[in-house]
Chain A
Amino acid sequence: AQSVTQPDIHITVSEGASLELRCNYSYGATPYLFWYVQSPGQGLQLLLKYFSGDTLVQGIKGFEAEFKRSQSSFNLRKPSVHWSDAAEYFCAVVPYSGAGSYQLTFGKGTKLSVIP
């Protein structure tokens, strides 16, 4: 069964600093990969996704992620963090089935705190 690992439970960065959140997956083939963000008291919102093609994916809010097959990783990055980015970030995986129906498996999440 596929699994998703987010090694960092909590990360604190200063506003304006760069950010990288790690995500590793375990799956035989290349799955579909996603990053979602959850603000306090809210549901999850899709930041970006990777299905195929260019391994560097651009998302909303200035985020990007890079798929590295050799490392089974899909790390999320942002060059300059804003205070409003403080939230919890979830990496998710869907095994490619080609059947048109998907079941996301989420990592445990990384909580991001931003110091003014």
Chain B
Amino acid sequence: DAGVIQSPRHEVTEMGQEVTLRCKPISGHDYLFWYRQTMMRGLELLIYFNNNVPIDDSGMPEDRFSAKMPNASFSTLKIQPSEPRDSAVYFCASSLGGGEKLFFGSGTQLSVL
């Protein structure tokens, strides 16, 4: 298996623009997690899905953030409009059966100018 695949690896955008981050989990995994990593706050869980259904989005910082999982092999995290404070590395992770063992993607480095 190719592992968790995230795209793009790097994204540079201007404030106010819409940003879409993509994730393909490992085939057969039933949980998908979106994390944000910054120097100040470390790794924060934004939202997670179980069988494509959002279970807990309490970590989503604002209404500007939204996430979808239209099928078992694809998820998106959208920021609209983007702001400089959204600059971070965004990780997607998937697992089988919950948080026992997460497999992380390589992340998307987002820079909002």
17 contacts between A and B (CB under 8 A): A32-B99, A36-B102, A42-B107, A43-B4, A43-B91, A45-B104, A46-B101, A46-B102, A49-B101, A100-B97, A101-B31, A101-B55, A102-B100, A105-B45, A106-B42, A106-B43, A108-B42
Q: How far is the CA of A94 from the CA of B95 in the complex (A)?
A: 14
Residues from 57 to 111 in B contacting A, C-beta threshold 8 Å: 91, 93, 97-107
Which applies to chain B's interface (DSSP): helix, strand, loop or mixed? strand
Q: Which of B45, B50, B97, B106 contacts A43 (CB 8 A)?
A: B106
User: Which residue on chain A has the smallest CB distance to residue B43?
Assistant: A106
Q: Is B14 positioned at the interface, with any CB of A under 8 Å from its CB?
A: no
Pair A101/B98 contact, Cβ less than 8 Å: yes
Task: Bin chain A's interface residue count.
Answer: 20 to 34
Pair A101/B106 contact, Cβ less than 8 Å: no
Interface residues of chain B, those whose CB is within 8 Å of chain A, are 4, 31, 42-43, 45, 48, 50, 55-56, 91, 93, 97-107
Pair A94/B102 contact, Cβ less than 8 Å: no
User: B residues within 8 A CB of A94?
Assistant: 99
Interface residues of chain A, those whose CB is within 8 Å of chain B, are 32, 36, 41-46, 49, 90, 94, 100-109
User: A residues within 8 A CB of B102?
Assistant: 36, 44, 46, 104
In angstroms, how far is the closest chain A Cβ from the Cβ of B54? 12
Q: How far is the CA of A108 from the CA of B39 in the complex (A)?
A: 8
User: A residues within 8 A CB of B55?
Assistant: 101
User: A residues within 8 A CB of B48?
Assistant: 103
Q: How far is the CA of A109 from the CA of B100 in the complex (A)?
A: 19
Q: Which of A41, A103, A109 contacts B45 (CB 8 A)?
A: A103
Q: How far is the CA of A6 from the CA of B32 in the complex (A)?
A: 26
